[in-house]
Amino acid sequence: MLIALLPGDGIGPEVTEQAVRVLDAVTGDALSFERGLVGGAAYKAVGHPLPPETLDLARRADAILFGAVGDPDCDALERHLRPEQAILGLRKELGLFANLRPARLFPELADASALRPEVAARIDLVIVRETNGDVYFGEKGMRTTADGLREGYDIMSYNEAEVARIARVGFETARARRGRLCSVDKANVLETSQLWRDVVIEVSRNYPDVTLNHMYVDNAAMQLVRDPGQFDVIVTGNLFGDILSDQASMCAGSIGMLPSATLNSRSQGLYEPIHGSAPDIAGQGKANPLATILSAAMMLRYSLGKAAEADRIEAAVAAALAAGARSPDLGGRMSTAEMGDAVLAAL
């Protein structure tokens, strides 16, 4: 099975290296990795954040293991050349519209959560974030108003087919878990959110076994901190999902702990930690690789039909944490490679 390995920028190469060590240990020689350039690293090497060779590799692969993109050296570039365009381009070109972001607290990390331990203990949820639409892909630009002021704009739009297909993923995910779906929008203000709510209600008629509720995004942000245990599955748009999942990560201990899978309708997937490239600690061996290792486990489960191997990796991460493995984001001193060693030792 071919894996497109796209380490990207900053801490991306360090954390993906540990994930590959773990994958090699559990799959033997079943996976072959082919590396591609992406993000700022690709721009610096060949002048584009998502070169055609990388896109071709991603199309051919059974799955994509992605690190992170983002590079302060590229801050002054035109938007279409910035590193972040690589991940947006991959999602769009491959139709990767359903981003699953599980957030749960490993019991050993109760002290690392931003929440009181008894509240944090209850967090076990999945955020289903739409990743092919919203302000990320609407018309955008800069213009000058009649008063001579610079004005930036990003059009937010969703059509009903886009909402219906992500709603179905939300309902299916909830059906396979505790049967509760919370749809997050801003329907008291936004037209897109009004359509979103109407379509989610229409789709819900096919899922009478799933309990649906609706929440405005501002309330959802507050409720995630007040009582995260009330959530099973959250389905929401691109922008709201991006923000809420970073918030959920700190409830679950650290942004260095949250994996993600972004799937298309062919169950080809892109797997990446939800964190970015963290240029401030890049190359120092301080990054926590567990989010990427857990993303690799999701890859085995969702795209490669290797659920038993995925279970082994997740159990090894839990055992490594129980044995005291802690990178600096978790209040410890272990390096990126030592965290990888701890997972390998626990396999």
Residues that bind ligand GGG (CB under 6 A): 68-70, 84, 87, 242, 272-276
- For the annotated binding site for NAD(+), the residues are 276-288
Distances (CA, A) of 6 to 169, 206, 296: 26, 38, 13
Residue 198 Cβ vs ligand GGG, minimum distance, rounded to whole Å: 26
Query: Which one, 185 or 272, has the nearer CB to ligand GGG?
Result: 272
140 is catalytic: no
- For the annotated binding site for substrate, the residues are 91, 101, 129, 218
136 is catalytic: yes
Question: Which among 164, 165, 139 has a CA at the least distance from the CA of 152?
Answer: 139
92 is catalytic: no
Query: Which one, 102 or 276, has the nearer CB to ligand GGG?
Result: 276
Residue nearest to ligand GGG (CB): 68
Question: Taking a C-beta distance cutoff of 8 angstroms, is the pair 330, 9 a contact?
Answer: no
Tokens representing residue 199 in the block: 């379509």
Query: Which one, 84 or 185, has the nearer CB to ligand GGG?
Result: 84
- C-alpha dihedral sign at 162, 53, 38, 305: positive
Of 71, 185, 232, 242, which residue is the catalytic one?
Answer: 242
Of 186, 207, 232, 329, which residue is the catalytic one?
Answer: 186
242 is catalytic: yes
How many angstroms separate the CA atoms of 299 and 121, rounded? 26
What would the DSSP string read from start to end of 214-261? EEEHHHHHHHHHH-GGG-SEEEE-HHHHHHHHHHHHHHTT-GGG---E
Residue 48 Cβ vs ligand GGG, minimum distance, rounded to whole Å: 16
Residue 280 Cβ vs ligand GGG, minimum distance, rounded to whole Å: 15
Question: Taking a C-beta distance cutoff of 8 angstroms, is the pair 324, 42 a contact?
Answer: no
Of 9, 43, 71, 136, which residue is the catalytic one?
Answer: 136
Question: C-alpha dihedral over 12, 15, 21, 27, to 10 degrees?
Answer: -80
Residue 275 Cβ vs ligand GGG, minimum distance, rounded to whole Å: 6
Catalytic residues: 136, 186, 218, 242, 246
